[in-house]
Each structure stands twice: as C-alpha cells, then as structure tokens.
Amino acid sequence: MNSPNRMLQAAKVLQESEKVLIFTHQRPDGDALGSSFGLKYFLENTGKTAVVFIPGAIPHRHTKLFAGFISEITQEEFNTFDTFVSVDCANPDRLGKPELLSIDELRQKRYINIDHHKGNSMESGFFNLVSGETASCSELLVKIFCAAKIEIPEICATPLLTGMMTDTGCFRFSNTSADTMRNAAILLERGAELEKIVNALFFSKPLNQVRFENELMRDHLKFAAEGRIAYAFIPPELAKKYDFNIKEDEGLIDLLREIDGVVIAMLLYTGPGGIKISMRSKDSAFPVGPVARFFNGGGHELAAGATFDGSAGEAEIAVVDKLAQLFE
Ligand SMILES: [Mn+2]
C-alpha cells in the first residue's frame, strides 16, 4: 500500500489542491507541528494557499520554531477551502475542534489523511496515506517529496527535521531506521537548522520545570515488577506549587525511562475526563500499545496512552497490574 507509487499519488493529490486547511491532533507535539508547517510551507512554495489550524495554544518550547497558525475559524471561512489535510492524527477523537472538524463533515470534502500511526482510523473518503512503519509523519512527507522527485524547499527543512527528531527521541528510539537517517540527511542538505532545533527541543527547559521534576522524582517515583516498571502519579498540588503545566512537558516521562533496569515508564495525572495515563516501553518484547488499547486508549506499540475513568489510586492499581502481566 505504501509503495513509491502510492507516495507519488499523495504528492499528486497535494499538488492538485489550491486552498488547503491543515490540521493535526490536539496538544500537538513536535511531529504534529513539524509535519503541519512542513506541508504548509511546501504548498505555499508552489503558489498555493495553506493555513494551519490549531485550536488552542502550542507548548512553550515550540513557539520558537512554529508561528503563524490560526486558532479560530468560522464555518464560512472553513467552506472556502477546497482541500483538507490531517497530519499525524490517528483517530477522529484526537481532533481538537469536533464541531467543524467532525469526521463526517470531512468525508463530504476533499479530505486527505496523512499519518504514521498503525491503527489510524480517520478513514478519509478521498485519500489516505498511512504508513505505520515510518517513524514520524514528518519523515513520511519527506518520503512523499522524494518519491515525486520534488526538491524539498529550504523553508520546509527545519520543521520536518523537528518532527523527525521529536518522534525518534533525537534518533534514539527503535523506530529510527537507516532510511530515517538518510531522510534526515536530506533535510540537513536542504538547510535544516540543527542547532536551532536542538536548543529549542532539548536545551530550553524553564527553571520552574526543572524544580518540579526534581521534586516529582524525589518524592513520587514508584516501581513495580522488580524495577522493570517505573511510574509516578503527578499530584495536582505539586504542579500548582511550581506553576507547571504537564502539557508543556513531552519529555517528562523520559526521566523515568532513562533509569537503568526500567523497561516501561508510566506517568499518571489528572486531566479532563479522568486520569491520564502515558506509557513508554524501551523493549519491543514488552509493548504498551495493547495495554493502552485495553483501557480504550491508543498510540504506538512503544508509546501509548489512555484516559482512566476513576480515581488516581484505582488507575494506578489497574494499569500497573496490567503492565506487570507483561512480565509474568
Ligand atoms: Mn507523530
């Protein structure tokens, strides 16, 4: 399905559009933003109109890399677009603005779904390109451009490399393939600003966040399955004490993951709709994807999440118990 031919078709449908609305999942990460803006700049570079629509704010550290999106749109404005593209969005529930971006509404339109999540259920009526074996949606765009022999415009290189570096944990995760490295090299050759990306993504942590993380690790870290599972519930009052927003901190879970002997890291925190559970595994023999799906969540096999309807204590017991079964 994801043959070079299919990539070529994707390039063709993008090139045939005129006025494109690009959107992605809520709480956009570096890949969601990188693929949104990489695509926007590409389309603009070919003389088209392209607008990125992100309801709500983006995380602080991304503001240095990504600017120029809209957060509000009226039905009238919405209707002026001839093409709608979602990037990095695995299912309709993850769209931020359901009243306009309802999947039923989109299926009536020329809607294109470009994603790299295996379980993608956007099921567009017009064109789907879902490549579960590609590490990031940004890399998928690079593959599309390369298949169509399109020279990637310089302005696209930095956002796309940001996306690639985000979803591969800066090329540390097992989704990093030889192709990933080659595609990153293409972006560097096209002028991607590596230093700018690294400084924004990895060396820009606010001091209150560092202090919050230290106290979380000192007082709230727990272990199960003989140290192979590390987890922590973030007490709302701790976040409040440091005026810290968990949504700002994609990398928080890595503090648990980086511990020697830990295979699965998990964070739990209070969010809208229940207790949010975020899980990472560093061994494909112990995937967290099935556990997330068991609790009606989703994601990738080694990075997944869910929302638990119940108390933090109940969530902790239920999910730790399910994760521990992986080691039995
Ligand atoms: Mn992604």
Nearest Cα to Cα of residue 162 among 44, 282, 29: 29
Domain boundaries, the chain: 4-201, 207-325
Give me the residue label for tokens 């990895």: 202
Radius of gyration in angstroms for the set of CA atoms belonging to the chain, rounded to a whole number:
20
Q: Mention every residue, 6+ apart, whose C-beta is less than 8 A from residue 257.
A: 230, 265, 280, 282
CATH architecture under which domain 207-325 falls: Roll (3.10)
pLDDT for res 97: 63
- The answer to whether residues 160 and 141 touch, using CB atoms and an 8 Å cutoff, is yes
pLDDT score for 250: 76
**Residue 51 structure tokens:** 């607008």
Predicted TM-score (pTM) of the model is 0.85
Query: Which residue's structure tokens are 């690079």?
Result: 142
Q: What is the pLDDT of residue 277?
A: 97
The predicted pLDDT at position 107 comes to: 85
Q: What is the pLDDT of residue 60?
A: 81
What is the pLDDT at residue 98? 62
Q: Check residue 326 and give its pLDDT.
A: 97
How far, in Å, CA of 66 to CA of 128, rounded?
A: 26
User: How far is 280 from 276, CA to CA, in rounded Å?
Assistant: 14
Q: How far apart are CA 16 and CA 86, in angstroms?
A: 16
Q: How many CB atoms lie within 10 A of CB 179?
A: 15
Ligand 1 centroid, distance to 137 Cα (angstroms)? 5
Query: Distance, CA 174 to ligand 1 centroid (Å)?
Result: 14
Question: Got the DSSP string for 129-177?
Answer: EE-TTSS-HHHHHHHHHHHTTPPPPHHHHHHHHHHHHHHTTTTTSTT--
* Among candidate residues 223, 304, 212, the one with its CA nearest the CA of residue 259: 223
Q: Are strands 222-224 and 49-53 parallel, antiparallel or unpaired?
A: unpaired
| pLDDT tens sequence across 188-211 | 999 999 999 999 988 888 999 999
CATH superfamily name and code, 4-201: inorganic pyrophosphatase (n-terminal core) (3.90.1640.10)
Other C-beta atoms closer than 10 Å to the C-beta of 67 total 9
Tell how far the Cα of 27 is from the centroid of ligand 1, in angstroms: 12
Residue 26 near residue 53, CB atoms below 8 Å: no
Q: Separation of 237 CA from ligand 1 center, angstroms?
A: 31
Ligand 1 center to 243 CA (angstroms): 28
Looking at this protein, which amino acid is placed at residue 168? T
- Report residues of the chain scoring pLDDT below 70: 1-2, 96-98
| Residue 93, CA distances (Å) to 75, 78, 89, 114, 301 in order | 20, 20, 9, 16, 19
